[in-house]
Homo-oligomer: A and B are copies of this chain.
């Protein structure tokens, strides 16, 4: 009853998520010396007399981030926790605590909420993370999960997006694109089921891509491995939105360019097989699919010998001067600019 209806209206869809965050957080004043890093990386960094804390938060919203038609609640809980752990791994640190806030409508029973929490606790047990607090509430409709994760690190170990140097090697853990094709498969089988509920979903033989979509892992093992082999990455980010988007974040924050070699991107055979079924180039899935939660990072050339034979890390390119741009070198040898709409640009230039 107090609203003025004549004010200017700009649609949020015109800005997109990154545009909105940028707009809302520009010119933020910092009052406390304990705030070492605010908005703009995978986690914020807060200092307390030499001990650094990393804090990150993620929202998961029904109908936007997940579909309960094909996401078991236990898997959802596991994934919600793990993708937060991944944000701390992306700072080259280990998660230690989470708070979990959930809002849900009366369509959910206690048993359903317990199933969700079982998944969260399973992830906490596996990663040795403590569930230390949270909030619960009703919602008018739908399920909302908001998790905040906290990790500790020594100041000198924290890796930001902004530290990549020219000639640094670009590395990725694991393989890419599988989670995206897992999602496409689940969506396809949901449609089949909706058309005829008597037909059972055909999910046999797709274990790997389904697991990558429904039960991803955070690569804290890579953080530990890098410490063991005494390599400190110069920059790091986790791959939640696809390789293209994350490469751009690193280049943007580091004001550098990059060459990524298409033939070096590791893609699982099962991913290649299903990509073929869907008639989609598997590289597109890797570049723009997202939800892989692998780590993308850069290391100095001097660390080449230490990283080159690690089984679950692949060197996919190198950092260049910003003037050379952000490029994918395709299998045919041509340089294709990687843009925020990575796969759009790639598709247009590929044929």
Contacts and interface: CB of A to CB of B under 8 A. Distances in A.
Interface string A101-114: 10110101111011
A28 B56 CA distance: 22
Given A29-B125, A32-B97, A130-B30, A61 B136 contact: no
A217 B150 CA distance: 27
A172 to B, nearest CB: 24
B139 A21 contact: no
A331 interface: no
Contacts of A269: none
Contacts of A10: 109-111
Interface residues of A, number: 91
A34 B152 contact: yes
A23 interface: yes
Given A1-B201, A32-B97, A48-B152, A64 B103 contact: yes
B152 A117 contact: no
Contact of A131 (B7, B25, B141): B25
A109 to B, nearest CB: 4
A348 interface: no
A64 B139 contact: yes
A123 to B, nearest CB: 12
A129 B31 CA distance: 6
Interface of A: 1-3, 7-15, 17, 20-21, 23-25, 28-32, 34-35, 37-39, 43-44, 46, 48-53, 55-59, 61-65, 69-70, 72, 96-97, 99, 101, 103-104, 106, 108-111, 113-114, 117, 121, 124-125, 128-142, 144, 146, 148, 150, 152, 189-190, 193, 201
